[in-house]
């Protein structure tokens, strides 16, 4: 059997890259924490805050539309989608999660711009706290 070697983190430099972050306003407290962590990660890798465009949309379902508009109108290197969809009494959360994922994948394929899907579908509020 082979031994698993310790992974060495990549030295990533974001100096020359621009990003757009689309974040849902729904479940804003949790999404704001995701946004804060995302911004911290980008700036810790030398992405200039001036090269980060933040767009807020009402809910997760609007994220793919905004992503598509941004991809068509702005010169960016990567899109990041952030949102939290919490399960209710129906399967609506699954429908939203699947349509958002499909929409974001379409944006990436159609525009050749990488899209990071940070929209989480969770079973309850305590799960969303754990994932932050």
CA distance 52 to 75: 11
Residue 92 bears catalytic tag: yes
List the beta strands (DSSP E) in 1-132: 19-24, 52-57, 78-86, 115-122
Cα end-to-end span (Å), the chain = 36
CA distance 71 to 62: 14
Query: Does residue 57 contact residue 114 with C-beta atoms inside 8 Å?
Result: no
The active-site residue out of 13, 92, 129, 131 is: 92
Letter string b/e over residues 22-59, b meaning 16 or more CB atoms within 10 A of that residue's CB: bbbebbeebbebbbeebbeebeeeebeeebbeebbbee
List the catalytic residues.
Answer: 92
């Amino acid at each position: 059997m082979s031994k698993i070697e310790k992974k060495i983190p990549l030295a990533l430099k974001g100096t020359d890259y621009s990003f757009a972050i689309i974040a849902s306003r729904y479940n804003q407290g949790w999404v704001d924490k995701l946004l804060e962590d995302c911004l911290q990660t980008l700036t810790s890798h030398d992405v200039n805050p001036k090269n980060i465009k933040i767009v807020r949309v009402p809910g997760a379902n609007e994220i793919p539309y905004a992503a598509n508009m941004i991809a068509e109108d702005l010169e960016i290197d990567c899109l990041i989608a952030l949102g939290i969809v919490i399960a209710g009494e129906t399967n609506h959360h699954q429908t939203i999660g699947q349509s958002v994922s499909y929409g974001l994948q379409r944006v990436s394929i159609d525009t050749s711009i990488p899209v990071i899907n940070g929209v989480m579908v969770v079973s309850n509020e305590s799960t969303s706290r754990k994932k932050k």
